[in-house]
């Protein structure tokens, strides 16, 4: 999952007769400034609004910027972990099975705030608990857990699917990245080019 920004260098450079030497410096600075603004938007707004996650450290660790330079006028914001899960959340897709079932979190599964929490509520770990079990009722197979000594109520932790369900898009990574690029790049380039001209050797 990544968004790549490449300059339309040849057309813009032709329009800047007399300042062509400053162009690569200004363009690379503008691309980098925009890339970091996109990253900030994704980490601080897009990710928290898309997922019920109290710990934002994961998004901060995940998103990285590949910087442009005067010889490579291209910058990118990307997921350094390259997880298919995040790509599916951004693009939609089909959840692939690794066994007989695919476990989809149900209403009573505790919220996941980090790797340790996820490991505790993983379906295999849940089924190791003495009061957790699999039950099929009304054409639905679920992982349930009894939390008290009473027979009911039961907590619905996972719904088990034998077919591969479709994953809806819920993480507008590309949409938000493109929006920020449209809003910020021209201003960033104007600022960078002004500085390049001011510091150019006369």
For residue 119, what pLDDT is reported? 73
Same domain, 103 and 124: yes
Same domain as 21, residue 121: no
Write down the pLDDT at residue 14.
54
Least confident of 3-7, 15-19, 23-27: 15-19
**Do 124 and 188 have their domain in common?**
no
> What mean pLDDT value characterizes the chain?
84
Reduce the DSSP state of residue 89 to 3 states and report it: helix
Domain range for 156: 97-163
Instruction: Tell me, yes or no, whether 18 and 77 share the same domain.
Output: yes
How many structural domains comprise the chain? 2
Confidence label for 84 from pLDDT (cuts 50, 70 and 90): confident
Same domain, 144 and 189: no
Question: Do residues 62 and 149 both lie within one domain?
Answer: no
pTM reported for the whole predicted model: 0.69
Residues 12 and 105 in one domain: no
- Buried/exposed code over 104-117 (b: 16+ C-beta within 10 A; e: otherwise): ebbeebeebeeeee
Asked if the model's pLDDT at residue 152 lies above 90, the reply is no
Which residue blocks in 63-110 are alpha helix, DSSP H? 84-91
């Amino acid at each position: 999952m990544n968004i790549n920004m490449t300059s339309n260098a040849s057309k813009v450079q032709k329009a800047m007769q007399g300042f062509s030497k400053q162009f690569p410096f200004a363009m690379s600075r503008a691309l980098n400034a925009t890339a970091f603004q996109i990253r900030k938007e994704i980490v601080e707004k897009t990710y928290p609004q898309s997922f019920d996650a109290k710990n934002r450290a994961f998004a901060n660790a995940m998103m990285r910027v590949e910087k442009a330079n005067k010889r490579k006028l291209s910058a990118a914001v990307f997921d350094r972990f390259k997880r298919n899960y995040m790509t599916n959340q951004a693009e939609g897709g089909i959840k692939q099975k690794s066994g007989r079932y695919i476990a989809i979190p149900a209403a009573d599964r505790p919220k996941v705030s980090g790797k340790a929490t996820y490991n505790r509520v993983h379906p295999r770990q849940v089924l190791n608990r003495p009061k957790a079990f699999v039950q099929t009722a009304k054409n639905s197979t679920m992982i349930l857990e009894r939390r008290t000594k009473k027979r009911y109520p039961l907590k619905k932790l996972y719904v088990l699917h034998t077919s591969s369900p479709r994953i809806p898009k819920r993480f507008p990574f590309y949409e938000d990245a493109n929006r920020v690029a449209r809003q910020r790049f021209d201003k960033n380039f104007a600022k960078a080019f002004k500085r390049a001209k001011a510091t150019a050797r006369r």
